[in-house]
Amino acid sequence: MVAAALLASVTGAQTWPVTAHAAPAAPAAPRPGDPGARPRSLEEVRKEIDSLYREAEAATDAYNAAGERQSEQERSILKLARAVVAAQDRMAGLKNRAGALARAQYRSGGLPAEARMLFGGDPAEFLDNAALAHKGQQAARGLIADLAATQTALDGYAKAASEQWEKLADERAKKEDAKKKIEARLRSAKDLESRLAAKERDRLRQLEEERAYAAQEKWLSAGAAPKGGGGATSDQGKRAVAFATAQIGKDYVWGAVGPNTFDCSGLTLKAWAAAGRPIPRTSQEQWRQLPKVDARDMRPGDLIIYFRDASHVGMYVGGGAIVHAPRPGRQVTLAGAGSMPVLGVVRPDA
């Protein structure tokens, strides 16, 4: 069934079929934790659940971004640590040379080389030694300069490492805060859904499909669907689509990048990695960094970024459809490209 639907989508179908249902009878559902509140319609419950999952997804993007920055800080600290070790080794060698110079001067009675040569009796030897003394002075000055420069580098590394540790601690705190927000929103959404009867849960899913179908129809009727101006799909784009559609049916898990579970940007990240094109980890960074294209020029493999905060992403597969990882409790699936509010389109292989 999925393969047939995908085949239809990539061969030019201009609408994304979703089963239509009769108008809801608006069964009531009480607000959790507030037994005295006015009973709410199932549509109101759907909106609240959708809002909770949207908040969780936005927090997931923040969690993923903090994780990326944390990894960058850890790599930076490791690089600094290696530089410190190298500088310390260099400093030890320079100090050994300085010690040898000091010991040689001590053995000569502490007299400068010029004074020792002045008291020598051989003029020719004096001239020869004068050149050697000049070279020795230059070497000593160079040694002192090297010691100072190496010490300055060590001080700089220490300061940079301290700053990186502070940033790392900050990113860890942000990541933990985002994690708490995600878990809190998911608990609330799951609790709200668990209070519904089985028939109401089935009807809730129908309402989700109807809302998505209506949004898709509106998007198509507004002329936002691609007009074929984006050119032929690249080989990399084809490979990215092939990877993404091969994940259909796998569970959404926030923060996941495969191989068995994905979040929305984890799916697009891995799909384009499989095509040989690295892209940013989060949907917000994908929107910020990747080249933008007009929605009417979309081609398979392009990424559609959704919502004003760029908190969701799907991959266009053709025929007005996307493949995406929707939210917790759902699986990677095909959907209408206009079934959610579109922010814009980016092309990783532009």
As annotated, the active-site residues are: 264, 312, 324
Residue with tokens 């009973």: 39
- Report the DSSP pairing between strands 303-306 and 342-346: antiparallel
Integer CA distances (angstroms), 88 to 94, 95, 174, in order: 10, 10, 34
Take residue 166 and report the two structure tokens written for it.
């502070």
Beta strand segments in 66-167, E: none
Q: Is 278 helix (H, G, I), strand (E, B) or coil?
A: coil
Residue with tokens 């690295």: 278
Please tell me the total number of residues recorded for the chain in this structure. Answer: 350
Closest CA to 51 of 311, 252, 268, 333: 311
Residue with tokens 């053995």: 107
- Report the DSSP pairing between strands 251-252 and 261-262: parallel
Integer CA distances (angstroms), 172 to 68, 73, 121, 179, in order: 11, 10, 73, 10
CB atoms within 10 A of CB 173: 11
Closest CA to 283 of 261, 267, 295, 294: 267
